[in-house]
Amino acid sequence: MLKLENFDAETFLRDYWQKKPLFIRNPWNEWHNPLEPDELAGLACEDDIESRLVIQADDDWKVEHGPLAESRFSDLGNRHWTLLVQAVDHYVSQVAALIQPFRFIPDWRIDDVMVSYAAEDGGVGPHFDQYDVFLIQGLGKRRWQVGAVCDENSKLISNDQLKLLAEFEALDEWVCEPGDILYIPPGLSHNGVALGQDCMTYSIGFRAPSKTDLLSHWVDEKPADIEDDRYSDPDLEMQENPGEILPKAIDRLHNMVTANLADRDDFAEWFGRYNSAVKYPEVDWAPENPMSTEKLLSEIRAGQALKKNPASRYSFIRHRSNALVLFVDGEMFECAKDVVKLAETICALDEIDDPMNYAKSSNAIALLNLLYNQGSLYLDKK
Ligand code: SIN
Ligand code: CO
* Ligand 1 neighbours (beta carbon < 6 A): 82, 116, 123-124, 129, 133, 190, 192, 201, 203
- CA atoms of 293 and 370, how far apart (whole Å): 9
Cα of 362 to ligand 2 centre, how many Å? 47
> Hey, is 247 helix, strand or coil?
helix
Question: With the C-alpha atoms ordered 7, 9, 10, 16, is the resulting torsion angle positive or negative?
Answer: positive
Contact predicate 78/46, CB 8 Å:
no
- Each residue's pLDDT expressed in tens, for the chain with a length of 382 residues: 889 999 999 999 999 999 999 999 999 989 999 999 999 999 999 999 999 999 998 778 999 999 999 999 998 999 999 999 999 999 999 999 999 999 999 999 999 999 999 999 999 999 999 999 999 999 999 999 999 999 999 999 988 889 999 999 999 999 999 999 999 999 999 999 999 999 999 999 999 999 999 999 999 988 888 888 899 999 999 999 999 999 999 999 999 999 988 999 899 999 999 999 999 999 999 999 999 999 999 999 999 999 999 999 999 999 767 799 999 999 999 999 999 999 999 999 988 888 888 888 999 999 999 999 999 999 998 7
Cα of 176 to ligand 1 centre, how many Å? 13
Cα of 15 to ligand 1 centre, how many Å? 23
**Nearest atom in ligand 1 to 124's CA:** 3
Closest CA to 137 of 234, 75, 188, 204: 204
Which pTM does this prediction carry? 0.95
Cα of 123 to ligand 2 centre, how many Å? 10
Testing ligand 1's pocket by substitution, the residue of 52, 88, 116 carrying the most ligand atoms inside 8 A of its CB is 116
- CA atoms of 138 and 178, how far apart (whole Å): 5
**Nearest atom in ligand 1 to 123's CA:** 3
**Nearest atom in ligand 1 to 116's CA:** 2
